[in-house]
Amino acid sequence: MDWANQQLARGKVEQLRMGYARLSEADSYTELAEHYLGVSEPDDPRYDNLLRGFLTTAHHHFALLRLTLFTRCEREHGVDHYGHVVEMFLDHLAAAYPPQHFLVAGHMSVTGGHEVVAKRHLRLASATHATPREAGQYLLFDAAQPITTMGGLCAALQSVF
């Protein structure tokens, strides 16, 4: 996000808004901001969030994030290699936040409501991505209390149904 904010701070925001509207086949950026964000004034701090998201996904580091969160790259590269990728990802996050022990991600088909991948990645399926659908789960925990084991994290899983 810092990189996206730096791009916006360069002063060509109006050009970026017009370009984003064209790419989105919209009449104006304001139309998109009103529809997706519920804001219509450029002085609202949320107004350029569509641009921030677009710029963030255009950054070359986003490719690693996308691979880590939304693909089954452990099948292509092996569980051990993927475990190292998850470890590097969590270490990178910990540079700006408290130490991170686990990666939780979803939006992928999972037999049952969850799957543990490479010991530190909890792949979660609510309903649409759970097989069977009724196996869908969600994660509910007290964020003020640290969770240091995968068993502790999995104990916080609840059934959607």
Tens digits of per-residue pLDDT, 87-111?
Answer: 988 998 888 888 889 999 988 899 9
The per-residue pLDDT of the chain, averaged, comes to 91
18-45 pLDDT per residue, tens: 999 999 999 999 999 999 999 999 999 9
> Which of the four pLDDT bands, split at 50, 70 and 90, describes residue 117?
very high
What pLDDT is stored for residue 9 in this prediction? Answer: 86
Q: What local confidence, expressed as pLDDT, does residue 75 receive?
A: 87
Radius of gyration of the chain (CA): 19
Strand spans (E) along 3-159? 103-105, 110-111, 114-117, 121-124, 130-131, 137-139, 157-159
pTM over 0.75: no
Percentage of the chain beyond pLDDT 70 is 100
Q: Which amino acid is at 53?
A: G
* Separation CA 57–CA 52 (nearest Å): 9
Q: What was the pLDDT predicted at 95?
A: 85
